[in-house]
């Protein structure tokens, strides 16, 4: 495996922000040539990035046959759009190295948990905005370099409204709550340019209510973005893999009923990568 750490130096980036890559070695003895890649954004309320939602989950995706990368993005006191620019840079960086690392540049999915789900979904709704392309030195015709090929959201923070996780927005926006709260309430920013999406959440989540996912799913449905959504009855917030591999020190975050999410996500990913639900952008053929 090619394991590397790359420091991030976007405007506003804090010391320690970095991208970790887990690239499976190419071998001409294998039929596999270029692999899909899952780019993970751990949660943590925009105060930190959770270890439980980082390497353990990356290794799970590696075992499924994908490349993986973990974004340790800048959190408070860094504010929006610093972490979004770091994510945009990361996906562009991975596509720029696609040939070298045998990544399929048309099969990069951004995964995010909790506040990391908000970050992943933010790229999903804002990837074609001029300010983001300009921050990466891209022209208007190069916006697609920043577009994820899919979103995989685990109990995501989405809304700044009635069901908001207030702490996440306070950390992300600081004193600009009134100025940017509406823009960062992502269910209000959905268009048909959002990539296909897989979401799971639990009915019992008391930290980030399931309405966050329900609002996003409803918005995606209205504009016709193919979406798969799973709501589990039991399970607290922040389950990660929901098994012993991501159990907390005090014995929490093991919920057998929810462990199926990763298998369901694998099935969804394989269908997505097989082209069963190809979108117009892929059909046009992107040359990277």
The pair of three-digit structure tokens given for residue 18, joined into one six-digit string: 């970095």
Tokens of 123: 């790229």
From the CA atom positions of the chain, what is the Rg in Å?
18
3-state secondary structure of 285: coil
Q: Give the Cβ contact number of residue 243 at 10 Å.
A: 17
Q: Tell me the three state secondary structure of residue 271.
A: helix
Global pTM reads: 0.95
pLDDT tens string, the chain, 288 residues long: the values are 999 999 999 999 999 999 999 999 999 999 999 999 999 999 999 999 999 999 999 999 999 999 999 999 999 999 999 999 999 999 999 999 999 999 999 999 999 999 999 999 999 999 999 999 999 999 988 999 999 999 999 999 999 999 999 999 999 999 999 999 999 999 999 999 999 999 999 999 999 999 999 999 999 999 999 999 999 999 999 999 999 999 999 999 999 999 999 999 999 999 999 974 344 344 334 555
């Amino acid at each position: 495996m090619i394991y590397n750490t790359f420091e991030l130096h976007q405007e506003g980036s804090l010391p320690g922000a970095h991208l970790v890559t887990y690239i499976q070695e190419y071998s001409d003895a294998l039929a596999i040539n270029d692999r899909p890649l899952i780019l993970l954004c751990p949660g943590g309320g925009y105060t930190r990035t959770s270890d439980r939602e980082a390497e353990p989950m990356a290794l799970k995706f590696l075992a499924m046959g994908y490349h993986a990368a973990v974004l340790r993005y800048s959190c408070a006191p860094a504010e929006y759009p610093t972490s979004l620019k770091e994510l945009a840079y990361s996906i562009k960086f991975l596509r720029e190295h696609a040939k070298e690392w045998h990544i399929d540049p048309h099969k990069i999915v951004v995964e995010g948990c909790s506040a990391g789900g908000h970050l992943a979904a933010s790229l999903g709704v804002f990837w074609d905005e001029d300010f983001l392309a300009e921050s990466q030195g891209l022209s208007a015709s190069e916006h697609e370099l920043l577009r994820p090929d899919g979103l995989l959201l685990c109990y995501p923070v989405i809304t700044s409204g009635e069901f908001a996780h207030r702490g996440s927005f306070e950390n992300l926006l600081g004193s600009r709550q009134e100025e940017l709260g509406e823009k960062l309430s992502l269910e209000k920013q959905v268009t048909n340019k959002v990539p296909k999406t897989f979401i799971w959440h639990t009915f019992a989540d008391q930290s980030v209510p399931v309405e966050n996912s329900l609002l996003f799913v409803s918005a995606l449905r209205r504009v016709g973005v193919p979406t798969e959504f799973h709501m589990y009855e039991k399970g607290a917030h922040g389950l990660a893999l929901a098994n012993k591999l991501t159990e907390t020190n005090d014995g929490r975050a093991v919920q057998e009923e929810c462990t199926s999410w990763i298998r369901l996500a694998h099935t969804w990913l394989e269908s997505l990568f097989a082209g069963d639900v190809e979108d117009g952008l892929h059909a046009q053929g992107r040359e990277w």
